[in-house]
Chain A
Amino acid sequence: MTLLSVEGLGIAFGGIKAVHDVSFKVEPGEIVSVIGPNGAGKTTLFNMISGVYQPGSGRVVLEGEDVTGMAPFRLAQRGMSRTFQNLQIFQNMTVLENAISGFHLQEKGPVLADLLHLPSSRRRARAADAGARKLLARVGLERAADREAGNLSYGSLKRLEIARALAMKPKVLLLDEPAAGCNAVETEEIDHLIAEVAASGTAILLVEHDMKMVMRISSHIVVLDHGEKIAEGAPAEVSRNPAVIAAYLGTEEGADADG
């Protein structure tokens, strides 16, 4: 059975088709990248898959179950998590607490036990605390654990968001531009992290502008232009596809050479 299958997904805003009839599949351990010029509909596609937007047409199927437009928290319970292009960090919490909240599904319990600080509540919190510290160490943030999340650098926040998503041990992880705004060293760290997570069996769905990174780590690439899928396949195939080059790679490589 396919892990995640996107079937003919589409949405229109005010009569304009932002995404139209996009289909692809994601298998465990794969890194599938969605690329395309700015405004191609990548983030909109992500928002539909992750339940933030209700798709106008098509289906999202997770492990054989139709989860189209399901609320994000229900998707989380079924093993789908995501990060955000413009960061959605809990600014009102410490770094450690942000990571702990990723363990919500494991640590939640009767609210009465929490109110009265019963041993069961403390046990749940302790387990999440330990898990969160391990994760912070994995993304290199263990020394920032007690800092206010709002005070972290951009690159650190990106890693924190990934750590929070990993805490759920998701089956599918959607990463929306995880390396955007990061320097070369940080990008490489994130690059390794993604590969490592995929190697452990988690499927990764990635939106990323850094073409070198995409070409290096993706097992499969889906190309969008003007909301429609214009190509898909292995990195080498896609990079040779004339339609892709016309729509996207030509301009992007020029931009890359500048950076």
Chain B
Amino acid sequence: MPKLTAKSATLLVLAALIAVTPFFFPSGYYYRIGALIFVNGLAVTGIVILTGYAGQISLGHAGFAGIGGYACALAPTHLGLHPSLAVVLGAVISGVLAYLVGRPILRLKGYYLAVATLGFGILVSMVLNNERRLTGGPDGIAVPELGLRGLLKDWGLDLTNGEFWYFFCGLVLLIGAWIALNLHQSPSGRALRALHGSEIAAGTVGIDVARVKLQAFVISAVYASVAGSLVALQNKFITPDVAGFMHSIEMVTMAVLGGAGSVLGAIFGAGILTLLPQALTVFAEYEQLVLGLVMMLVMIFLREGLLPSILRKLRGRGE
């Protein structure tokens, strides 16, 4: 039997989970939760590239999710763009913005990046809250229908709304994971991981550290943006919360909880933190308490994250 590469193994596990889990859904509502996990997983995959591969941090990636989301709300009505193109427009704006913001910030180290990204996220959410005439302010704004489900129906594939978004988001997550895994083993990805290992040594082998950091920042911004677009399109509504500070924190926490170094681990983390509020109805009140606690505990005791630690244990037992 040919040996499975880590990449195909990850993709197979992911695809199998997406395909099989619906058989165990007690009700249609669970499709919605599944789709939410996939969207969060997508955003967190971007964090894996930035934090897990390149070792950089962002506390403002929700800002890019906000841009992606509001692009889907605004571009169709104001520019007459099809919602699917609005997703692309949002991603482009996010990428360009990440480039412009990242250029000065990424020349410097950790703390500055954290603060500047934090400020950037707050700025975006401030604009979304304050520019009422355009964004509807804190109450949010309606988002047009993507229209893909109707198209599929014409082709004879009749899915409920929940089913459609479940499988559609699952597919996008698979593509996102595939891209992130491609990057991992590619020359560009190696450069990112090298600078994570030692910035000084990365320089001596000719890696333009500032440039590749910027690449990682832009790529992860595009992930967050697309995730934000998907949330908006699925809910047909969006509020500035998507760009809020707590959403940025959620993304980072999901990534480090599952294991920022691995795509599957991070998606696993996204799954746990998305399910938690569903399982505990009182969770809403404790959300910040729990998120903060998880961030501290994981960084102190399980720096690799949950999934890699579990796998290591299992492997250790097997040998």
B-contacting residues of A (Cβ < 8 Å)?
A: 50-52, 71-73, 75-77, 81-82, 84, 88-93, 97, 100-102, 104-105, 107-109, 111, 114-117, 121, 124-125, 128, 164-165, 167-168
Contact = CB atoms under 8 A, between A and B. Distances in A.
A114 B186 contact: yes
B50 to A, nearest CB: 14
Contacts of B198: 88-91
B249 interface: no
B273 interface: no
A93 B198 CA distance: 11
Contacts of B281: none
Q: What 3 pairs between A and B have smallest CB-CB spacing? A: A90-B197, A72-B203, A76-B206
A214 to B, nearest CB: 23
Given A111-B188, A111-B219, A114-B186, 12 more contacts: A52-B200, A73-B202, A73-B206, A76-B204, A88-B198, A90-B201, A104-B206, A108-B191, A114-B188, A114-B189, A115-B179, A125-B186
A168 B191 CA distance: 14
A41 to B, nearest CB: 19
17 contacts: A72-B203, A73-B209, A76-B204, A88-B200, A89-B198, A100-B190, A104-B190, A105-B205, A107-B187, A109-B188, A111-B188, A114-B183, A116-B182, A121-B182, A125-B187, A165-B204, A165-B205
B200, B203, B205, B261: most-surrounded residue (chain A CB, <10 A): B205
B240 to A, nearest CB: 30
A107 B185 CA distance: 12
Nearest to B49: A115
B131 interface: no
Contacts of A164: 201, 205
B103 interface: no
B191, B206, B215, B261: most-surrounded residue (chain A CB, <10 A): B206
B208 to A, nearest CB: 5
A168 B205 CA distance: 7
B182, B188, B219: most-surrounded residue (chain A CB, <10 A): B188
Contact of B197 (A82, A93, A109): A93
A77 B205 CA distance: 8
Contacts of A73: 202-204, 206-209
Contact of B183 (A108, A115, A124): A115
